[in-house]
Amino acid sequence: MKPLLPAAVAILVISNAFVLAHVAMNRSGEPDSEIELTARELNYFGGRSDDSSVVLMLRWENTAPEYPPGLPMDGPDWFDQKKLEALGFDLSVPASSPRGERFYGNLRSREAFVALEFEGPAWEKWLAAREPKLESETSYAPKVTLQERLEIERETTPRLVAVDVGLDAAALRQKYPDRKRVMILECLVRAMLEMNRPASAVAPARAAFLRGAITRLAIETINVPEPLSGKLREQSSYVPWTYDGNQVKIQQPTFAATLRVGSKYEPWVTDVKVDVKSLR
């Protein structure tokens, strides 16, 4: 046997051993966080005949989105230029420079960590910020009242809210020590250039500025292993609310899953509960 065949076998065995060791390290010891989420935060779209895996999609409220809905922003929110610099972005070209559009348009995403707070003050703030926008929200039928819209938002939307980003996950954990309420996961961030806005009848002039955006989580789908997946396989997709033309009916989440995040900031499902009446 020539040495290349044992080399091929060794590559195969070592790489698999490396992956399994990485998984064991992530899952051993005290978890970084453990939170019970429901179908509001973990979407299950039902099984497919050609795919037997059961996968949950993590849903969260992005307070620094790449393309914010609604009117153009008046200025950066919490994810500002200072935070971008701390994340290592090259911001040497001023926002007002003619070179800015090309320079920032070509800047690639960077890997960072995001702190997601569950059902805390950030979620209350998010709901409060949504309230004035709900009246003109086109995703609701016109007959759905503002009170009903508020209830739908409060009872059905994901309660995980992005509150901070950083390069050092340990430093983020120190800042947000509640492991039952704040989950830290790997994410991707970008620098966004908001071009200057001339004065108009509805808004004053605003200079160009730089802000940060969280573009996605590094791990957005979470596999549910056997035997836990068996509990979800019979479930249909969660429909948060229905409207029959007269009345809004809010559906309670159909399942809850405990999500644990390990020392390598990789999540896994440790428990699944179905048909629990008290879920919200």
Residues lying near another protein in the complex (CB under 8 A): 1-2, 4-5, 7-9, 11-13, 15-16, 19-20, 22-23, 26, 50-55, 88, 102, 105-111, 186, 188, 218-219, 221-223, 225-227, 229, 266-268
Nearest to 32 by CA among 259, 184, 176, 181: 184
Distance (Å, whole) CA 158 – CA 126: 11
Nearer to another protein, 22 or 143 (CB): 22
Nearer to another protein, 107 or 279 (CB): 107
Nearer to another protein, 7 or 207 (CB): 7
Nearer to another protein, 226 or 275 (CB): 226
Q: How far is the CB of 82 from another protein (least distance, A)?
A: 18
Name every residue whose Cβ is closer than 8 Å to that of residue 151 and which is 6 or more positions away in sequence.
Answer: 248, 250
Nearer to another protein, 107 or 274 (CB): 107
Q: How far is the CB of 13 from another protein (least distance, A)?
A: 8
Q: How far is the CB of 264 from another protein (least distance, A)?
A: 8
Q: How far is the CB of 191 from another protein (least distance, A)?
A: 12
What are the b/e assignments for 181-197, b being 16+ CB within 10 Å? ebbbbbbbbbbbbbeee
Q: How far is the CB of 54 from another protein (least distance, A)?
A: 6
For tokens 């099984």, the residue is 47
